[in-house]
């Protein structure tokens, strides 16, 4: 009896390992009739350079706000994709996720969790953000009040295809110059993402 009692947990462990072995790889979490979407965010480096010069580039909308910020923690709450019929489809993805967008300005990138979509062609990404916490250079913390429904950024991208059982990567860039603005003594957030040209 003791041997059988000790053997049961072992059998359970084997069953778990076998099930896990059948689900290895990032694409394996996709359900039937679904493809994966991997959304990678980086920063527009020419925009970063212009902002660091205080906006002396005529194309820059930066008003010096970037120079006051140490961190910008933005919470992404949902992602949608528009198909070629003009329908917005919700991406099934493990959100919310908080990202320091100023870390992107430092040349880093961030990949959201892989989401799933019906297999078809898409040409637009909509990212929805629900919370923004700013840290100034002196350590002051500022919570930016979101508009009703949060902030949205609509990104037209090169048409891409989501294939059943496979994961498609889409790269978008954050433009810091156009995203943070001063209104009186308050910092406003107007998120601006754009497609990667390369």
Instruction: Specify the pLDDT at position 46.
Output: 52
Give domain status of residue 76, yes or no. yes
Residues in the chain where the model's pLDDT stays below 70: 1-31, 45-64, 197-198
Which residues are CB-neighbours of 74 under 8 A, at least 6 positions away? Answer: 98, 99, 100, 101, 129, 131, 132, 189, 191
Instruction: Specify the pLDDT at position 4.
Output: 42
Q: Give me the helices (H) in the chain, please.
A: 2-21, 45-52, 101-105
Count of domains forming the chain:
1
Instruction: Specify the pLDDT at position 189.
Output: 92
Instruction: Specify the pLDDT at position 29.
Output: 54
Domain that holds residue 154: 35-195
Give domain status of residue 186, yes or no. yes
Instruction: Specify the pLDDT at position 135.
Output: 95
Instruction: Specify the pLDDT at position 31.
Output: 65
Give domain status of residue 67, yes or no. yes
Peptide bond before 123: cis, by omega within 30 degrees of 0? no
pTM of the complete model: 0.75
Q: Are 80 and 90 in contact (CB under 8 A)?
A: yes
Give domain status of residue 82, yes or no. yes
Give domain status of residue 13, yes or no. no
Instruction: Specify the pLDDT at position 38.
Output: 97
- From residue 14, alpha-carbon distances to 6, 9, 31, 102 in Å are 13, 9, 24, 45
Give domain status of residue 113, yes or no. yes
Q: CA 159 from chain center: how many Å?
A: 19
Q: What phi and psi values does residue 15 have, to the nearest 5 degrees?
A: -60, -40
Give domain status of residue 19, yes or no. no
Give domain status of residue 22, yes or no. no
Instruction: Specify the pLDDT at position 185.
Output: 75
Can you read off the two tokens belonging to residue 89? 């489809």
Of 83, 74, 54, the residue nearest 162 (C-alpha): 83
- From residue 10, alpha-carbon distances to 14, 16, 18, 36 in Å are 6, 10, 12, 34
Q: What is the pLDDT of residues 10-33, one digit of tens each?
A: 333 333 333 333 322 344 456 679
Give the dihedral sign, CA 139/144/150/154.
negative
């Amino acid at each position: 009896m003791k041997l059988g009692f000790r053997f049961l947990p072992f059998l359970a462990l084997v069953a778990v390992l076998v099930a896990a072995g059948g689900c290895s790889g990032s694409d394996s979490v996709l359900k039937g009739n679904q493809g994966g979407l991997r959304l990678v965010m980086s920063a527009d480096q020419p925009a970063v350079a212009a902002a660091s010069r205080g906006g002396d580039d005529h194309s820059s909308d930066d008003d010096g706000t970037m120079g006051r910020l140490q961190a910008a923690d933005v919470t992404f709450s949902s992602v949608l994709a528009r198909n070629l019929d003009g329908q917005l489809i919700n991406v099934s993805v493990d959100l919310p996720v908080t990202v320091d967008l100023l870390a992107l300005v430092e040349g880093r990138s961030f990949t959201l969790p892989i989401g799933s979509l019906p297999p078809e062609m898409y040409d637009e990404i909509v990212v929805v953000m629900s919370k923004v916490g700013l840290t100034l250079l002196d350590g002051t913390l500022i919570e930016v009040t979101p508009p009703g429904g949060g902030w949205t950024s609509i990104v037209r991208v090169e048409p891409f295809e989501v294939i059943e059982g496979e994961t498609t990567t889409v790269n978008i860039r954050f433009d810091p110059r156009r995203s943070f603005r001063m209104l009186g003594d308050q910092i406003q957030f107007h998120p601006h993402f754009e497609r990667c040209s390369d």
